[in-house]
Amino acid sequence: MKNKKWFMTAVITIVLSVMPICASAYQSLPPGFDDNVDDETPAAPISGLVALGLLAGAGYGIKKIKNANSKKQKS
């Protein structure tokens, strides 16, 4: 229970410290596009393989975390 409380405190601290950085980065964005932008040309599509790669990476990361936790509990 003690580790869970420490973990939640760490997550909240990280989130609260990253939020001002993101806000300042968003605030310093350049203005939008001019009116003479060619809207007829389609944008480059994002392949469905990107989402598949993200899912595979997340699954691999979860597997590694579970293996590390099971090794900790055995020792």
Residue 59 to residue 53: CA distance in whole angstroms: 10
Total Cβ atoms within 10 A of residue 11: 10
Backbone angles phi, psi at 38, to 5 degrees: -80, 105
pLDDT at 17: 87
Segments making up each domain of the chain, as ranges: 2-26+47-74
Residue 34 to residue 41: CA distance in whole angstroms: 16
Which pTM was predicted? 0.40
pLDDT in tens, 33-42: 677 777 777 7
pLDDT in tens, 10-62: 989 998 888 887 777 777 767 776 777 777 777 777 778 888 999 999 999 99
Half-sphere exposure at residue 36, Cβ-oriented, CA atoms within 13 angstroms: 0
